[in-house]
Amino acid sequence: MDPIVAIVLILGLAKVFGELLERGGYPPMIGEIAAGILVGPAVLGLVTMNETLELFSTIGVIALLFISGVEMNARAFAAARNAAALTAVTGIVVPFVLGIVGGALLGLSAVEQLFLATVLSITSIGVSVRTLIDLKMLNSMVGNTIVGAAVVDDVIGVILLGILSSIALSGQLELAPLTATLVLAVLFTVFALTAGRRLFLWAFRTSHRMLTHEMPYVAAIVIALGTAAVADAVGLHYAIGAFVAGLVLGPQIRNDRSVFDGLADFAFGFFVTFFFASIGLLFHPDPAVFVSVLVPALILLAITGKTAGGYIGSRPYMGDRLQALMVGFGLSPRGEIALVVAQVSLSTGIITRGLYSGVTVMVIATILAVPLLMKWGFAARKKREEAVKGGRPAAESQ
Amino acid sequence: MDPIVAIVLILGLAKVFGELLERGGYPPMIGEIAAGILVGPAVLGLVTMNETLELFSTIGVIALLFISGVEMNARAFAAARNAAALTAVTGIVVPFVLGIVGGALLGLSAVEQLFLATVLSITSIGVSVRTLIDLKMLNSMVGNTIVGAAVVDDVIGVILLGILSSIALSGQLELAPLTATLVLAVLFTVFALTAGRRLFLWAFRTSHRMLTHEMPYVAAIVIALGTAAVADAVGLHYAIGAFVAGLVLGPQIRNDRSVFDGLADFAFGFFVTFFFASIGLLFHPDPAVFVSVLVPALILLAITGKTAGGYIGSRPYMGDRLQALMVGFGLSPRGEIALVVAQVSLSTGIITRGLYSGVTVMVIATILAVPLLMKWGFAARKKREEAVKGGRPAAESQ
C-alpha cells in the first residue's frame, strides 16, 4: 500500500474510533489500538508493520513522553521519588516471581519462564502515561508515583532484557554489558539534569530570539528527539530521554502557550496515534490460543502481579488503600516492548507460537482492563471524598 | 545512521542554516537545501536518501502546498486564471524548444534532447511557492500568476514525462495512457471543486463538534494527505491535490487561528524542512562537470527559457514589464522532479553521467538564483512605485 494512503487510513480510522470510545466514556487510546488491530494482520491485513511506521511509532512515544514531562509538576514528581523507587522494586519483584512460578505451573521450560517473568515485569510507560492523561490523573500523587515507578521500571527492564538475551543466546549470564548499561544510565541521568539541563534551557530561550518564527517549536522537537536518541544510545529506552527533556523544559514551554499547543498537536494530532495503532498492528495471535487455559492464566498473572507489587510498594506512602491499589492498576499495562520482545523471542525460537500468541493477547487485555479499573477506582475515591467532605468535589487530580 | 539521529541532524542543521541565511537577507529555504548538501553524498556523506526521508519529503511538499492553498485568496487566484493559463503554455513551449535546440548544439542524442527539454520545462512548484512565501509575495498578481502557471505546468509536465518514458522505454509514443491521464486529471479537478469541496467543508466543520480536542487539526491533515494521494493515484503530483484541498478549506482554516498555527508549525517546523533538505541530499554531481561548458550552458538555457516564456505569456496581463519579468523569474526554479527524473534516466541508461551531473548543478543554480532575481525585481518595483506615489510604500504584496 502507498505509504501516504496507509497514513491517511490509520490516522483517520484511529481518530474516529478514539472519538467513538470517548463518547462512550472510555479512553480514546483504546480506539486507536483497535484501528491498528482492524487494518493490521489480525483482521483485514491491509497494513503490516514496516520501517516507516516503526519510526512514526518511535517519534510518537518520544512525543508522548516529552509532553508528559512538560505537563508534569517537577517538584511534586521529585517529592514522590521514595514512593516511586520502592514501588518500582516491588512492582518488578512480584510479577517476576509470579512469572517464574506461574510459568513452571504452566509447564514452560526454564528459558520460557525467564521470558514470561521478564515480559510480565515491564510496564508500558507509554500506555501508562496515556491512560493517566486520558483520565486527567497525571498530576496527582497517584499519577506521580505511577510515572516515577514506570521510569525506574523501564531501566530495570532494560537490565532484565539484557539478562534474558544473554542467557537465551549464549546459555550463560554475562555481567559486563549489564554493568556498563547501569553506569551509562546513571551518567545519562546526571548529565541530563546538570549540564544538559543548562544547555537545553539556554537553547530553548535562545530560540525565541531568532528570526525564524517556528524556531522554539523546532528547538523543542530537536531537544526531545536528540535526548531520546542519546538515551537509546546508552541502552535506555527513547521514552526515558524524552521524558527527562520534557521535565527540564516544562516550566518554559508551559509558559509559552502557542509553542505548547503546537507541540501537543504534533504529538496527539499525529505521531502519538501511530504509537498506539502500531500496538494493534503488532497484535497477531494464533486464534487457537483463545480456547486454551494459557490466556486467562497469563492475564491473571499480569494483572495480579503488577497490582500486588504496586500496592505493596506504594501503600506506606499513600493516604489510603484505594490509592495504593490504583498505583498497582496504573502499572499493569504491558505494551510495545512486550510485543517486540515476544516477536524477537518467537523468531529466534526461544518460545513457542502458543506462548507468543498468549502474550500478545495478555498485552491487549491489560491495556483494555487498566483504564476501566482506574476509572472505577477514581470514581470510588471521588464518591468517598464527597461523602466525607459533604459534597465538595475532589480537587487532587489536577 | 539511526533514523532519529538523522532527523535531529537534518532538522537542526537546516533550521540553523536557514536562520543564518535569513539574517543575511536571503530566503531560509537556501539554508535548508545547503544543510542537505552538507550532510548528503556531495560533501560529508553522513546521510543518504532512503524510503523514510522520501516519505518525510513527500509529506513536506504536501504540507507546503496545502498551507499555500490555505493562504491563497481563492477569488484573486481565480481572477488570474487567464494570465496563468497563457503563461503556463508559453512557459513550457519556450524552454522545451530551447532544450531541443540547445541539446542539439551541445551534441546530445535525440533521446537526451527530449530528456533535457522535459527537465527544463518542469517548474518546481514547491520551490516556487516557498520562494514566494519567503519573500511575502504569495498573494499578489505576480504571485497568483506564478502559482497558477506552476499548477498547470505540473499537469503538462506529467504528460511530458509520460512521453519521455514511453519513447525511452519502447522507442515509440503511446497515446492511450496520456489521454487517460488527461481525462483523469480533469475528472479529479471537477470532483475536488464540486462534491469533494462539499465533503471537505462538511468534514472540517463537523470536526469542530467532536470531543477529541485535536480533531480539526487531524481532519485538515487527513484531507490534505488524502486528496494528495488521490491526485497521485490519477497520475498527477501529490502537491496539486494538496494545493486544491488547501484552496477549498482556506477560508475556514484562516478563521481558526489555533488550527492554522498548528498546521503551519507541522509544515514549516518539521516536514517542509525535509523536502528542501532532500533536494540537497539528491545533489551528487561528478566534480568534473564543473569545468565543462555544459554547466553554464544548461544554467543559461534554464533561466532564459523560463524567464522568456513566463514574460511572453504574462506580459498582456501585467501592469508593466517588470512584473512580467518577475513572473518569468518565479517560474524558473527546477527542483525535486528534475532531480528524480535525472536519477531514473541515469540508472536506465538513457543519459550519460555527465548530463546527469550537469542537470543536478543546473537545478541547484536555478534555486539559488531565483530568489535573488525576485528580490532585485521586488526592490526595483517598490522603488519605482515610491518614486511615483511620493514615498507611499507598495501595498500590493500582501
The predicted-structure confidence for B349-378, as pLDDT tens digits, reads as follows 889 999 999 999 999 999 999 988 988 888
Measured between CA atoms, the residue of chain B closest to residue A257 is B258
Q: Flag whether residue B370 sits within 8 Å of chain A, measured between CB atoms.
A: no
Of the candidates B3, B218, B258, which has its C-beta nearest A261's C-beta?
A: B258
pLDDT for A174 equals 75
Report the range of poorest mean pLDDT among A165-174, B72-81, B254-263, B328-337.
Answer: A165-174
Where does the pLDDT of residue B396 fall: very low under 50, low under 70, confident under 90, or very high at 90 and above? very low
Q: Flag whether residue A260 sits within 8 Å of chain B, measured between CB atoms.
A: no
C-beta of residue B246 within 8 angstroms of C-beta of residue B65: yes
Q: How many contacts does A have with B, using Cβ atoms within 8 A?
A: 128
Instruction: Round the CA-based radius of gyration of chain A to a whole number and report it.
Output: 21
Whether residues B23 and A217 touch (CB distance < 8 A) is answered with: no
pLDDT for A395 equals 46
Whether residues B222 and A23 touch (CB distance < 8 A) is answered with: no
CA separation, residue B68 to residues B141, B243, B250, B252 (Å): 15, 7, 9, 14
Q: Which of B2, B8, B51, B64 to mutate to test the interface with A (most CBs of A within 10 A)?
A: B8
| SS3 readout for B89-155 | HHHHHHHHHHHHHHHHHCCCCHHHHHHHHHHHHCCCHHHHHHHHHHCCCCCCHHHHHHHHHHHHHHH
Where does the pLDDT of residue B390 fall: very low under 50, low under 70, confident under 90, or very high at 90 and above? low
**B274-288 pLDDT, tens per residue?**
999 999 998 888 888
- Cell numbers given for B352: 550519460
Where does the pLDDT of residue B218 fall: very low under 50, low under 70, confident under 90, or very high at 90 and above? very high
Mean pLDDT of B219-247: 92
Question: Which residues of chain B lie closer than 8 angstroms to A28, CB-CB?
Answer: 212
Residue A305 has pLDDT above 50, yes or no: yes
Whether residues A4 and B51 touch (CB distance < 8 A) is answered with: no
Question: Which residues of chain B lie closer than 8 angstroms to A11, CB-CB?
Answer: 218, 221-222, 225
Where does the pLDDT of residue A396 fall: very low under 50, low under 70, confident under 90, or very high at 90 and above? very low
pLDDT for B391 equals 52
Mean pLDDT of A341-366: 90
Whether residues B12 and A222 touch (CB distance < 8 A) is answered with: yes
Interface of B with A in 79-138 (CB under 8 A): none
Measured between CA atoms, the residue of chain B closest to residue A217 is B269
pLDDT for B55 equals 96
Q: Which of B59, B133, B212 to mutate to test the interface with A (most CBs of A within 10 A)?
A: B212
Q: Which of B270, B272, B274, B276 to mutate to test the interface with A (most CBs of A within 10 A)?
A: B270
Cα separation of A9 and A48, whole Å? 13
pLDDT for A73 equals 86
- Cell numbers given for B295: 554547466
Q: Flag whether residue B206 sits within 8 Å of chain A, measured between CB atoms.
A: no
- Cell numbers given for B56: 518525510
Interface of B with A in 283-322 (CB under 8 A): none
Whether residues A228 and B4 touch (CB distance < 8 A) is answered with: yes
Q: Flag whether residue A266 sits within 8 Å of chain B, measured between CB atoms.
A: yes
Question: Which residues of chain A lie closer than 8 angstroms to B8, CB-CB?
Answer: 222, 225-226, 229
**B117-151 pLDDT, tens per residue?**
999 999 999 899 999 998 888 888 999 999 999 98
Mean pLDDT of B383-395: 67
Percent residues over pLDDT 90 in chain A: 61
**B296-314 pLDDT, tens per residue?**
999 999 999 999 999 999 9
Residue A354 has pLDDT above 80, yes or no: yes
Question: Which residues of chain A lie closer than 8 angstroms to B55, CB-CB?
Answer: 3-4, 52
pLDDT for A199 equals 94
Residue B186 has pLDDT above 90, yes or no: no
Question: What amino acid is encoded at B359 in this protein?
Answer: V
Closest Cα of chain A to B237: distance in Å? 13
Whether residues B15 and A212 touch (CB distance < 8 A) is answered with: yes
Question: Which residues of chain A lie closer than 8 angstroms to B3, CB-CB?
Answer: 55, 58
Strands (DSSP E) contained in chain A are none
Where does the pLDDT of residue A281 fall: very low under 50, low under 70, confident under 90, or very high at 90 and above? very high
Q: Which of B134, B218, B237, B276 to mutate to test the interface with A (most CBs of A within 10 A)?
A: B218
Supply the ipTM of this predicted assembly. 0.88
**A45-97 pLDDT, tens per residue?**
999 999 999 999 999 999 999 999 999 888 888 889 999 999 999 999 999 99
Question: Which residues of chain A lie closer than 8 angstroms to B18, CB-CB?
Answer: 212
pLDDT for B395 equals 47
Average pLDDT over chain A reads 90
Cα separation of B276 and B128, whole Å? 12
Whether residues B211 and A62 touch (CB distance < 8 A) is answered with: no
Closest Cα of chain B to A299: distance in Å? 30
Question: Which residues of chain A lie closer than 8 angstroms to B232, CB-CB?
Answer: 2, 4
**A178-204 pLDDT, tens per residue?**
788 888 888 988 898 899 999 999 999
Where does the pLDDT of residue B202 fall: very low under 50, low under 70, confident under 90, or very high at 90 and above? very high
Mean pLDDT of A129-150: 91
Measured between CA atoms, the residue of chain A closest to residue B52 is A52
CA separation, residue B11 to residues A201, B8, B35, B260, B286 (Å): 19, 5, 9, 22, 27
Where does the pLDDT of residue B397 fall: very low under 50, low under 70, confident under 90, or very high at 90 and above? very low
Give the angle subtended at the CA of A298 by the CAs of A292 and A303, to the nearest 5°.
Answer: 140
Of the candidates B18, B213, B221, which has its C-beta nearest A212's C-beta?
A: B18
Give the angle subtended at the CA of B233 by the CAs of B227 and B234, to the nearest 5°.
Answer: 95
Cα separation of B108 and B110, whole Å? 7
Cα separation of A185 and A177, whole Å? 12
Whether residues A4 and B221 touch (CB distance < 8 A) is answered with: no
pLDDT for B394 equals 47
pLDDT for B344 equals 85
Percent residues over pLDDT 70 in chain B: 98
* DSSP class of B209: T
Where does the pLDDT of residue B108 fall: very low under 50, low under 70, confident under 90, or very high at 90 and above? very high
C-beta of residue A142 within 8 angstroms of C-beta of residue A323: yes
Whether residues A214 and B269 touch (CB distance < 8 A) is answered with: yes
Task: Give helix B215-233 / helix B176-193 axis angle, nearest 10°.
Answer: 160
Residue B398 has pLDDT above 60, yes or no: no
Q: Flag whether residue A373 sits within 8 Å of chain B, measured between CB atoms.
A: no
Domains and CATH numbers, chain B: 3-397 (1.20.1530.20)
Average pLDDT over chain B reads 90
Of the candidates A5, A211, A262, which has its C-beta nearest B265's C-beta?
A: A262
More confident residue, A378 or A389: A378
pLDDT for A390 equals 64
CA separation, residue B81 to residues A20, B200, B288 (Å): 43, 23, 44
pLDDT for A135 equals 86
Interface of B with A in 13-42 (CB under 8 A): 15, 18-19, 22-23, 28
Residue B305 CB partners (closer than 8 Å, separation 6+):
B94, B95, B98, B99, B120
Interface of B with A in 230-259 (CB under 8 A): 232-233, 238, 258
Cα separation of B228 and B246, whole Å? 11
Most confident of A109-118, A158-167, B382-391: A109-118
